[in-house]
Chains A and B, each alone.
Chain A
Amino acid sequence: MNAATLFGLCGAALVGIGLYGLITNPEPLRKILAFNLLGSGVFLLFGMIARRAAAAGLGGDPVPQAMVITAIVVAFAATAMAIALVQRLADETGRASISSDSSDAVDGEGKS
């Protein structure tokens, strides 16, 4: 097994860990963390693909590498937005939650 495959497997495992965290963790902040973990797993898959495709004297295929850079930035922007939302929610309610129960209750009552 070469290094690329190893990191590819690592990426796959991180995807699994991230998915698990995103689904089971009730706290929004931890969900955001899990999302970042998931994202980095995906980026590692890109890295594996780039590394495997090393040619022309380069250590890896620059196209997927460039895509990863773009994707990291996008993921960061997403994280920033999500965190801002969590904080605003925490400021408004004293606790951050996306639990459906509370939102349903609000829906049912109608808007004031």
Chain B
Amino acid sequence: MMETYPLLAGALLFPLGMLLACLWPGALLRMPSYLAFAPIPAFAAVLFVADVSPLVVGPPRLHLTFTLDLPGALLLGVAALLWITAGAYASPYLQGRPNRGRFAVCWLAALTGCIGVFLAADMVGFYLFLAMLTLGACGLIIQHETADAWRAGALYIGLGLLAETLLLIAFVLLAADIPGNGLLIADAAAALPTSPHRDLIISLLIAGFGMKAGLVPFHVWMPRAYAAAPTPAAAVLSGAAVKASILGMIRFLPLDTALPHTGTLLAAAGLFAALYGVVIGMTQRRPKVVLAYSSVSQMGFIVAVIGMGMIAGDGRAALAAIFYSANHVLVKGALFLSIGVIAATGRRYLWPMLLPVAIIAVGLGGLPLTGGALAKIVVDGPLGDGAANTVATLSAVGTTLLMLQFVRGLITTVSTDQEATAAPSLFWPWLSTAAASLVVPWALFLAVPEGMLPNPLAPELLWKALFPVLLGAILAAVVWRWVRRLPHIPEGDIVVVLDSCVKIAPAWGKTIEQAEGMLRRWHVAGISLLALTLALGAALLAQ
């Protein structure tokens, strides 16, 4: 096994170095072709790092600490895979498009942020890389510079910064609780259950990470952002970047301590989002938007798993959630990439292409033998046998339905040229992602010592996984056949409310501006000066 330090450092420094190299115009020009190489050191680190000894950067007083623990490694591994394939996909995608340099810069920033978040072991580093991820992602979303893209970017960065500020307060509160000067996340999580501000901190963390994870009602940015972003960007954002919030929850929330109330709330919110995403998603036409709503649903489901873990105080729920997330990383990535591939494929070659898409898509609903089914088995334990499990099954049905809707929508985007085929440089990255999404979950599943988890090939489990899929398929047939018109819900649904709020804001702004203009008149300012003098004098006298 290799040394830990250089691997961890390389994982971070390599993309960072590429990012800095972009300052040189010559490098910037070529950078889009080399995006796929940036995450390779990170992937290597996951493969070769054996221990969790931390990498400490900086003097003792205030330093950054990086480490590769099991949840981080799992997510980093699959995320790095996705970043590699999506990077390879992006290179032909960008050819001849404007702003390629900017895309590369934002891509690398988001990538560095993503890797950093997965590796960070202290709060400052976590926050720093989360911010970098947000900024980079925002840049990717606005890539096309359409009005929609700008609006989506504004929504994304606004909610993102709000989330980060909430997290910042939570971190500051946590830092106050950590004994000594350290800022390690592990210490913070350990100190959290006994903190005097426990409930406040947990609420802030959940709100902050919830916004980032697209928990209803903070999901509004997802449909808009993913619809606006270029395909490869949407793939990494929905696949890899959004998992930072899941990792954050797992790192910060005290999952080993039973917190039934908070857990119940979290689980309920997650399950609600899991169903809500499906319902709204069904009304959508554009494949990207459907996938975005599926992300809302899936992220909700993962959050629900964490919530159930909190109820029981069961730390294993974390790993289950991570496994589920890891599967989702690759599946969602592959599905987003497929949008570009199908759009470049003619009707003649459609079906060979569509088959893997359909398998992966329905796999998300739990099709036996796919990663989705494995993930469902893994999370079955934490979900328990109660209402949560029922809702989970319901969500599996819904997901299947939604995925079929996606495939159906995908067919309509097929290229008008009958004979067209996707370029190999688009096709192969997509296919390898798809393959990875099938293989990697198995590899991970098999790495778990035998006996811990039920045998996925057991007939009753196969049936249990199959029947929601069948139900979903039947439902899809019913809906397509008989429900003539689905209601049309705008992308981002309740964001419309926000939009109308934004329309009111100028009136308020105008009032404040007028008041400020008033205050800027000479005699008003003079009188304020005198009044303040007296007020301050009185306040100083007041004991």
Contact = CB atoms under 8 A, between A and B. Distances in A.
In-complex A–B contact (CB below 8 Å): yes
Interface of A: 19, 22-24, 26, 98-100, 104
B521 A100 contact: yes
B521 A23 contact: no
Contacts of B526: 19, 22-24
Contacts of A100: 517, 520-522
Q: Which of B517, B522, B526, B530 has the most CB of A within 10 A?
A: B522
Contact of B530 (A19, A26, A104): A19
Number of chain B interface residues as a range: under 10
Contacts of B520: 100
Contacts of A19: 526, 530
B383 to A, nearest CB: 61
B485 interface: no
B97 interface: no
A17 B522 CA distance: 17
Nearest to A103: B520
18 contacts: A19-B526, A19-B530, A22-B526, A23-B522, A23-B523, A23-B526, A23-B527, A23-B530, A24-B523, A24-B526, A26-B522, A98-B522, A99-B522, A100-B517, A100-B520, A100-B521, A100-B522, A104-B517
Nearest to A19: B530
A23 B524 CA distance: 8
Interface string B489-524: 000000000000000000000000000010011110
Contacts of A23: 522-523, 526-527, 530
Interface string B517-542: 10011110011001000000000000
Nearest to A16: B530
Contacts of B522: 23, 26, 98-100
Contacts of B530: 19, 23
A100 B517 CA distance: 8
Nearest first, the 9 A-B pairs at minimum CB distance are A23-B526, A100-B521, A23-B523, A100-B520, A24-B523, A23-B527, A98-B522, A22-B526, A100-B522
Contacts of A104: 517
B479 to A, nearest CB: 56
Contacts of A26: 522
A78 to B, nearest CB: 17
Nearest to B520: A100
Given A23-B530, A98-B522, 9 more contacts: A19-B530, A22-B526, A23-B526, A24-B523, A24-B526, A99-B522, A100-B517, A100-B520, A100-B521
A83 B533 CA distance: 28
A104 B516 CA distance: 12
A100 B526 CA distance: 13
Contacts of A99: 522
A98 to B, nearest CB: 7
